[in-house]
Chain A
Amino acid sequence: MKTILIPVFNKRISSRLDCTENFQLIKVDNDSVKSIETVKHLAKNQLAELNFILSIKPDTIICNGITDFYTNEFSKNRISVIPWVHGQLEEVVQNFLTGKLAIKNY
């Protein structure tokens, strides 16, 4: 079972991981979704937000904008990150499960 964390805004991937309040925690096993949980977290600052995410211990984070500071922290904590992804949440999750998640390299 793997835990995927996705920052969301209006059913879309949030534009910035460090500025979001809403997350979807998706438990995935054998390429299928086992559970979906919505988590709201009002962080007072970005360091608190980062510590909150680290406390969840996700296996993978799918997000759009991410600061290099966050990227380094996740790398050190062995959390894989699929960044710069945008679009509807449902579509992104489906693409992830089928291995078709297109990471847009601008």
Chain B
Amino acid sequence: MKTKTSKSLTNTHAELILDNVADGVFTVDENLVITYFNKAAEKITGMPRENVLGEYCFDVLRSNICETECPIRFSLETGQDVIDKRENILRIDGKKIPITISAAIVKDNKGNMIGGVETFRDLSKIEALEKEIHKKYTFEDIISKNHKVMQIFSILPNISESDSSVLIQGASGTGKELFARAIHNLSLRKDGPFIAVNCSALPDTLIESELFGYVKGAFTDAVKNKPGRFELAKGGTIFLDEIDSIPLSTQVKLLRVLQEKEFEPLGATQTVKADVRVISATKDDLKRLVRQGKFRDDLFYRLDVVKIELPTLRERRDDIPLLIQHFIEKYNHHMHKAITKVSDEVMQILLNFSFEGNIRQLENIIEHAFVMCQTEKIEIEHLPPEIINTRSQKEVNLQTEIPLKESERHTILETLEKHHWDTLETSIELKIHRSTLWRKMKKYGLLQK
């Protein structure tokens, strides 16, 4: 519905120039009704000019600050310019487009204010690069429509609002760090640092000094004070990945940080306050490690205040097409290609693949296919050889074995591997007696392993 009569910009020369600039430009009258809309503005918003002239700018631009800090309203009210304000608009296809916007008033030849002008620049590519460099991921970067992931989404705001420790449990490649970053970026600590530490990458002898820092003279090579990761994470979040790799001696010190909210750097006589939220992650079952005496139970209960269990890709197969499309878009951008999809056959293979390496493995497969593919569609020959071989093997198996038996053998093997061939843990998960498990292992030739 046209709300006002549009006042078209009559200067055709000016229009020609404005239609050839890369930035979106539009003008409004004193009532915020659009009077001019250039080609770049059409491209960025996805709205044709003829549909927006005469409409209110907030109904067309749909920026996140239209209702609270409208730049052009500010300019019209104060006469001051707004320069490069960062915000996002909503395109007609429901995609958020990050932009910078500038606004100023427009005066006629006599100096009377007749409206305002806004220019805006699409920052999508810049923001995508920034996201990769600074890893500023939010829940919107988690690609899923799976109900298990949706259940996690429903509790993320509550988890983020609290300052409690979070334990994320999930197999390798399930996106533990992505969820940790999403929690941080939803929390009140989002403006503070997010420090990620892979505990398994640090040698036992260094882990304490890396986490808690040291003071000059603490040991022979300590020529100056060095802050630890906990100090670097002050006011933010520390993400301790593969927490199960922390040696028992460091576990005691970590327990103190969680209990007392303070620690002492190596060689220091004074304590340092730890204003840090701890998110830890493990692919192992920490409870099992506690039972085996490899992990302190008191530390486990401190870390396990809120637990998030991430499903494997096998448990969220319905997300595979979405994830494939996401990685196609990502690698088109990275490799300057224009691949549109995978063939139906490739989709079937990927939907049935076991994905031991989860989402990371799927991404690697798509990246491999991108290197090999020179057309618009990813075909079987573009997939890594091991995927094609697995498929061939499966076809052979289907011809020679009874599917139900194969399925049972596969389930037992998978569960055994998950529990590092611990038959007690495996029998508990499979809800069968240990002796039954042993008989089945014997039947399927799994005993020699």
Contacts from A to B (Cβ < 8 Å): 9, 14-16, 18-20, 44-48, 51, 54, 64-73, 76, 84, 86-87, 104, 106
Contact = CB atoms under 8 A, between A and B. Distances in A.
A20 B67 contact: yes
B92 A106 contact: yes
21 contacts: A16-B63, A16-B64, A18-B64, A47-B153, A51-B157, A64-B59, A65-B90, A66-B90, A66-B94, A67-B90, A67-B95, A68-B95, A69-B140, A72-B145, A73-B150, A84-B92, A86-B55, A87-B1, A104-B51, A106-B46, A106-B92
B118 to A, nearest CB: 15
Given A44-B157, A45-B160, A19 B64 contact: yes
Contact of A45 (B66, B94, B186): B186
A65 B56 CA distance: 14
B178 to A, nearest CB: 15
- The interface residues of chain B, by DSSP majority, are classed as mixed
A36 B48 CA distance: 36
B300 interface: no
Contacts of A66: 90, 94
Nearest to B55: A86
A16 B66 CA distance: 9
B46 A67 contact: no
B40 to A, nearest CB: 17
B156 interface: yes
A9 B154 contact: no
A68 B94 CA distance: 5
A15 B58 contact: yes
Contacts of B51: 104, 106
A64 B66 CA distance: 13
Contacts of B63: 15-16
Nearest to B156: A47
Given A15-B62, A69-B140, A76-B150, A44 B161 contact: yes
Interface of B: 1, 46-48, 51, 55-56, 58-59, 61-67, 90, 92-96, 139-140, 145, 150, 153-154, 156-157, 160-161, 186
Nearest to B160: A45
B67 A9 contact: yes
Contacts of A68: 93-95
B59 A86 contact: yes
Given A64-B62, A76-B145, A45 B67 contact: no
Nearest to B154: A51
A104 B55 CA distance: 12
A104 B90 CA distance: 15
Nearest to A67: B94
Contacts of B62: 15-16, 64-65
B39 to A, nearest CB: 16
A106 B48 contact: yes
Nearest to B51: A106
Q: What 10 A-B pairs come out closest when comparing CB atoms?
A: A68-B94, A65-B62, A65-B90, A48-B157, A86-B59, A15-B58, A15-B62, A19-B64, A47-B157, A9-B67
A70 B58 CA distance: 20
A72 to B, nearest CB: 6
A46 B90 CA distance: 14
Contacts of B46: 106
Contacts of A46: 140
Contacts of A76: 145, 150
Given A15-B67, A16-B66, A16-B90, A45 B157 contact: yes
Contacts of A71: 94
A62 B58 CA distance: 17
Contacts of B61: 15
Nearest to A91: B1
A44 B190 CA distance: 12
A14 B65 CA distance: 12
